[in-house]
Chains A and B, each alone.
Chain A
Amino acid sequence: GAVVSQHPSRVICKSGTSVKIECRSLDFQATTMFWYRQFPKQSLMLMATSNEGSKATYEQGVEKDKFLINHASLTLSTLTVTSAHPEDSSFYICSAIQGNEQYFGPGTRLTVT
């Protein structure tokens, strides 16, 4: 099946700094990618839909100025957590759709100290 990669897999940063997470579709083009957040032992919460060449669509309650999304090419979307705080610590997962299937990246575990 299709492969979606994410980088980094883990990141620890200090409070107030920004962190960029990359999501790549390795063997297919994805005009749309999705960014999710998952708290421990909880379900996935859709944060935003990333659209290639246009602005991302954010879910209600997600701060677009804090979670910057850029989808500059058909194979790459980035999520930047700006001025990170400890409450932003979480597991961030991206996904892309090919055909009728949604493929998830391996996730990025962000810890803000």
Chain B
Amino acid sequence: GQQVMQIPQYQHVQEGEDFTTYCNSSTTLSNIQWYKQRPGGHPVFLIQLVKSGEVKKQKRLTFQFGEAKKNSSLHITATQTTDVGTYFCAGNNNNDMRFGAGTRLTVKP
């Protein structure tokens, strides 16, 4: 079945440094979604990517969807302490959605 792999598992950065998390799917996806989960909270939808090669930006966050629609990345420029949390990707293939393991980001002020 479909598998979604996400790396790294953990990332600790100094405030102001950049951060990137990557997702790879074993199958071609119809779309991929990204979520952020703060410690003790629930996942919050960030964005959905649908088109091959799509790039979307939300302030300091840049989301990319690969040309083959099998991989995606989330890049945060100049991290802030408010960026702390776990970032999950979720790949969707024919209404079969699978979450990546998540990347736990900690930011040192």
Q: Is A44's CB under 8 angstroms from B44's CB?
A: no
How many of chain B's residues have a CB under 8 angstroms from any CB in A?
17
Contacts of B48 in A (CB 8 A): 100-101
Given A43-B88, A44-B88, A46-B97, A104 and B102 contact (CB-CB distance below 8 Å): no
Interface size on A, residues (CB 8 A): 16
Chain B contacts to A: CB under 8 angstroms? 33, 35, 41-45, 48, 88, 90, 97-102, 104
Give chain B's interface secondary structure class. strand
Task: Name the contact of A43 in the complex, choosing from B33, B41, B42, B101 (C-beta under 8 A).
Answer: B101
Against B, the Cβ 8 Å flags (1 = close, 0 = not) of A26-52 are 000000000000000111111000000
| Subset of 11 A-B contacts with CB under 8 Å | A41-B104, A42-B101, A42-B102, A43-B88, A43-B99, A45-B99, A46-B97, A46-B98, A101-B48, A102-B33, A104-B44
Binding site for B on A (CB under 8 A): 1, 41-46, 93, 100-107
Q: Closest residue of chain A to B88, judged by CB?
A: A43
Residues of A with C-beta under 8 A to B44: 104
Task: Tell me which of B42, B90, B97, B99 contacts A105 (CB under 8 A).
Answer: B42
Which of B43, B45, B102 meets A93, CB within 8 Å? B43
Interchain nearest-CB distance for A60 vs B (Å):
8
Chain A residues near B35 (CB-CB < 8 A):
104
**B99 and A44 contacting across the interface, CB-CB below 8 Å:** yes
Q: Is the CB–CB distance between B102 and A106 below 8 Å?
A: no
Choice from A42, A45, A104 contacting B42 with Cβ under 8 Å: A104
Give Cα A102–Cα B48 distance, bound, in whole angstroms.
Answer: 10
A44-B43 contact in complex given A100-B48, A101-B48, C-beta closer than 8 Å: yes
Partner of A102, one of B45, B101, B104: B45
B45 touches A106 (CB 8 A): no
